[in-house]
Structure 1
Amino acid sequence: MPPSTDTADDDTVVVSDSVRTSLESEKWYSLDSAEEEFFMTQTGIQDPAELKKHILAVQAKACEIHAYPCILRLAFTSLKIARLPAYGKLLKIGKERKGALFLDIGCCLGNDVRKVVVDGFPMNQVFASDLRPEFWQLGHKLFRSTSNTFPVPFISGDVFDPAFLPPAEIPTTARTVSLPPLSDLTSLARLAGHLSVIHASSFFQLFDGQLQLQLAKRLAALLSPEPGSFIFGSHAGRPEKSVRMEAVPQDFRGTRMWCYCPESWTELWECVFGGKGIVKVEAELKEIMKENLMFDAMEDEATETFYQLTWSVTRL
């Protein structure tokens, strides 16, 4: 989830007291019955008021690491991955494909990984990656777990660092070289052609158009050439390929997002894989209304139109 080029200390968002007050207000915290049951089961906290207090305390800590809009909006409390159209395919592969490997890239606090494991994908075939290891550690606090009680391997690194995830040719035949235990991996470099499913949500939107293309190429090289292997996720989109402003409380300026439409997103992946007929790209744009964080921080009532691009790219 964090941008791979964000390493300077002065890039960290400073969250003001007024924003913190907003973050702790009722309107940012809303669990539906499935989400509440999930968090109660995973944390062991059965009292709704205590659960809310616990989650908001973790959120405040996460904002100190980096106040991404998805953290500000408590998106890590949603079960969004389970509501993506391709989620059933993910669980089916985990059940039916021997040794299938699943990677959650840009995993943040690890809520999606935990949902996948709870729903039956073999834990020893799951791993997660993010630029900031502090988020993964905070995820253990959120779910009251340890590396022993939840031993899913976590690999920290910059997706644009060639030592961590080098550019590579997209494999066309199955890899026969065996992998070391996932817990021994320190980068994604050895995983080329080995992954059955990759999940990347709220991740591509962090980069400009050229970097999104580079990222797509690098993730495509990790994917197994076995038919049915796929990459999926969701992020900000637009009816036409363009730049939008995401309003966040960062000096009240906002941040630019390069957004694709379903047609241009399909073209990007077909280009990455070398043309039509190699992958099936499914992309859907949904219009939703959400509160504008920047204006909320200014104690004004405002909403903005937001388009979410939900997508999957499947090897044929």
Structure 2
Amino acid sequence: MSDTVTLPSAEKIAERSTDVPWYEKTIPAEKLDGAARELLENYSKIPPSEVESHVYNIVRFPFTKECNKAWSVFPFPCIGGFRFLDLAIASSPYYPTLLSRLSTSDTKFLDLGCCVGQELRKLVHDGAPSEKLYGCDLRSEFYDVGYDLFKDKDTLKTTFLTADIFDEENEDLKKLEGDIDVVYAGSFLHLFGWDDQVKICKRLTKILKKEGSVVMGRQVGEVTAGERTHTVDTSRTLFVHNKESFERMWKEVGESTGTKVCCHHYHLLHLLHPSGSRTDLRLCSGGWSVRWSIQDLLTGERIKIRAGFCLQCSGSNSQIASGHLVR
């Protein structure tokens, strides 16, 4: 198996060409075998026989006036590989606690880089009040795709923000500062280089409440951390973490923000084969998916965040998961 992937040209990206490594011509069968199908059938009320064609027509090229196509908004790997159908947040052992918090308290949740809002719909379908949920993305067109995909524009009360996380003057994000209890950053940090990841994490410490707040997430990782060429924009680099680098990044964030950060239990789950079906994760050929586990500061209960990470704040102290490597 080759360790290299031929990266597409900027022109192909700009033209929304399907001639890129992460574009699946058909929906992989496993993407509609479980939670995604259940959500579309029972939340969106789409007849079982129409689910596959509905998803394909909504997210695929070409763009039409009747319906924004997700691929035409931006050809992210999560769109090309139908990875957005994984509903990854629900696989976290913290998920039941999150649902409980949203259902029984004034907890507010932000999905950072929410794309079409699939994780938000999963939360609502599982009982979370939609008015307690916020979604944020750089491209507002994804929100229209989400409304069409899930058929809930007239019922969903979630607040969607169009914002650049690096824009310190964005009024919508400034209004959220100190008001969010849980942030989910799924497949988000790994899109950026080291310096930008640090900036994002610093911004999250402003958005979060200071007591009992949590950051959840998931991303690509590698045994050997370092800069990699960005798949979608070859003029940029991204930073892929291992345990040591992730811990070091949060230490830097903590020192610059006055936040105490403790790191432990970082897990690399499985190899991502560039020749396999997980083409959406070819951000780094031969990379790994990542899991962190943490010690819950509020209950003392050890929890594991599958394919993700968790930062929990208690007063002026914060705790971020990291730790040892496992194969």
TM-score normalised by L of structure 2: 0.74
- Where does residue 315 of structure 1 map in the other structure? 313
Q: Does 1:163 align with 2:164?
A: no
CA deviation after TM superposition for structure 1 residue 255, in Å: 7.0
Matched-pair contact (CA < 8 Å) for 1:199–1:233: yes
| Residues 125-164 of structure 1 aligned to structure 2 (within 5 Å) | 125-146=132-153, 148-164=154-170
Please report the RMSD computed on the Cα atoms of aligned residues, expressed in angstroms: 3.2
**Which residue number in structure 1 is paired with residue 64 of structure 2?**
none
The equivalent of 1:56 in structure 2 is 56
Secondary structure at the counterpart of residue 113 of structure 1:
helix
User: Is it true that 1:69 corresponds to 2:100 in the alignment?
Assistant: no
Moved more, 31-40 or 84-93: 84-93
Amino acid at match of 2:99: L
Q: Secondary structure at the match of 1:305?
A: coil
Separation in 1, partners of 2:22, 2:172 = 39
2:194 is aligned with 1:209: yes
What pairs with 1:1-316 in structure 2 (closer than 5 Å)? Answer: 12-16=13-17, 23-27=24-28, 30-48=31-49, 50-60=50-60, 61-96=69-104, 98-146=105-153, 148-164=154-170, 187-226=172-211, 228-245=212-229, 256-274=237-255, 283-292=266-275, 304-309=285-290, 310-316=308-314
CA displacement at 1:277 relative to structure 2: 5.2
Number of residues paired by the alignment? 274
Give the secondary structure class of the aligned counterpart of 2:107: coil
Determine helix, strand or coil for the equivalent of 1:25. Answer: coil
The one-letter code sitting in structure 1 at the alignment partner of 2:268 is L
1:17–1:104 distance in 2 versus 1, CA, 3 Å: closer
Q: Which amino acid aligns with 1:266?
A: E
Do the aligned partners of residues 152 and 135 (structure 1) sit closer, same or farther apart at CA in structure 2, a change above 3 Å counting?
Answer: same
TM-superposed CA distance for 1:282, in Å, is 5.5
Tell me if structure 2 keeps the 8 A contact 1:109–1:135: yes
Contact 2:185-2:216 at 8 Å conserved across structures: yes
Amino acid in structure 1 at the alignment position of 2:240? C
Q: Secondary structure at the match of 2:209?
A: coil
Mapped contact 1:54–1:142 kept (Cα < 8 A): yes
CA contact (8 A) 1:105 1:199 kept: yes
Q: Check the 8 A contact 1:200/1:232 in 2, yes or no.
A: yes
C-alpha distance after superposition, 1:141-195 (max 9, x if no partner): 111121x31121101011111211xxxxxxxxxxxxxxxxxxxxx5110222211
1:284-306 residue CA offsets vs partner (Å, 9 max, x unmatched): 32223344599x8xxxxxx9533
Cα distance change, pair 77–209 in 1 and its aligned pair in 2 (3 A): same
Distance apart, 1:75 and its partner CA: 1.1
TM-score, normalised via structure 1 length:
0.76
**Once the two structures are superposed, what CA deviation does each residue of 1:201-241 show, in whole Å capped at 9, x if it has no partner?**
11111111100000000011111111x31101001111132
Residue 167 of structure 1 is matched in structure 2 by none
Question: Counterparts of 2:51 and 2:80 in 1: how far apart (Å)?
Answer: 18
**Aligned residue type for 2:155:** T
After superposition, the C-alpha distances for 1:88-135 in whole angstroms (9 at most, x for unaligned) are: 332232234x31111111000000011112222222211111000000
Query: SS of the counterpart of 1:162?
Result: coil
Cα distance in 2 between the residues matched to 1:28 and 1:18: 21
Post-superposition offset of 1:263: 2.8
Determine the C-alpha separation between the residues in 1 that align with 2:206 and 2:166.
14
Amino acid paired to 2:289: Q
What residue ranges of structure 1 are gaps of 5+ in the alignment? 1-8, 165-185, 297-302
Distance 2:133 2:24 in 1: 32
